[in-house]
A and B are shown apart, each in its own frame.
Chain A
Amino acid sequence: MLQYQPPPLDALFQALADPARRAMVERLTAGPASVSQLAAPLPMSLTAAAQHLAVLEAAGLVTSAKVGRVRTCTLDTAALSQAEQWINARRMAVGAQLDRLGDYLAATKPDDEP
């Protein structure tokens, strides 16, 4: 039986670390789009957009299929189960909260504390 292998988290995070690629993923949550539709709102060439899409595809976030001359991209949310997404979101949310705790502690530091 073929086991489904989720893409490594490093590749996923690296793919999502770029704002242009995040913009593409956000656009794709609304539904499939062509490469030129994805590139249109971004300040970059079609070639650069295609390179970003290749990173998203390698991370397992996006799948694409060429029909005629148009390549259509689809968000592959199955790559991450809802539970795995939630674990990642939770870990990052807790990290952000602990940083906010640090900000709070710095802002409320008493004068007599060394």
Chain B
Amino acid sequence: MTAFPHAVTHATFCLERVYDAPPARVFHAFTDPQARRRWFFKTDSWTLHAHSGGDLAVGAVESSRFSPPGASVLITNDSTYLDIVADARLVFAYAMTLAGAPLSASLATVEIRPEGGGARLIFTEQGAYFDGPDSVAGREEGTRQMLETLANEIARPA
């Protein structure tokens, strides 16, 4: 229940994965624009309307405009690298919008550590998440998106 129309919710979440690949290859896959098109932008199912930047340099900006599968709603992501330690750490700030309305502004930290013959990736996001004006369309889109994401997550083999 939103007390006033432009509320902000702050939240932090952390995800970890262990990959069967050395830190250098994980770091490269995370930052190389060609590799990112394959795993990050999901170009096999999502529509990528525009994608620019993405150079591996502090201050470099990556901008993307995309739509989920079977939908025309426009989502934007503008991301800036704040800190880069080759093969070990990335810090970036990114803001997202949905159908022109601001959704979130986040600080993401990616840590990559050697583990066994592979690597452990720790993704920590600290964000400000916005409630837009209380539009039914926005809430429906939010709900639909949450359900789709959840369905995808559940469909994924454990």
Contact = CB atoms under 8 A, between A and B. Distances in A.
B121 interface: yes
Given A82-B132, A96-B152, A113-B21, A16 B147 contact: yes
Nearest to A78: B1
Given A88-B149, A114-B117, 14 more contacts: A25-B143, A29-B143, A78-B2, A83-B104, A86-B104, A89-B145, A95-B153, A96-B149, A96-B152, A101-B19, A101-B39, A104-B38, A105-B26, A108-B29
B17 A81 contact: no
B9 A81 contact: yes
Interface in B1-27: 1-2, 7-9, 11, 13, 15, 17, 19-22, 25-26
A28 B21 CA distance: 44
Interface of B: 1-2, 7-9, 11, 13, 15, 17, 19-22, 25-26, 29-30, 35, 38-40, 42, 103-104, 106, 117, 121, 123, 125, 127, 129-132, 138-140, 142-147, 149-154, 156
A77 B152 contact: no
Nearest to B13: A91
A82 B131 contact: yes
A5 to B, nearest CB: 10
Most buried by A among B22, B30, B125, B147: B147
Interface in A70-102: 75, 77-78, 80-102
8 contacts: A16-B147, A82-B131, A85-B145, A85-B146, A89-B146, A90-B13, A97-B39, A101-B30
Interface in A5-39: 13, 16-17, 19, 22, 25-26, 29
A74 to B, nearest CB: 12
A112 to B, nearest CB: 12
Contacts of B130: 82-83
B147 A25 contact: yes
A83 B154 CA distance: 22
A97 B143 CA distance: 20
A87 B17 contact: no
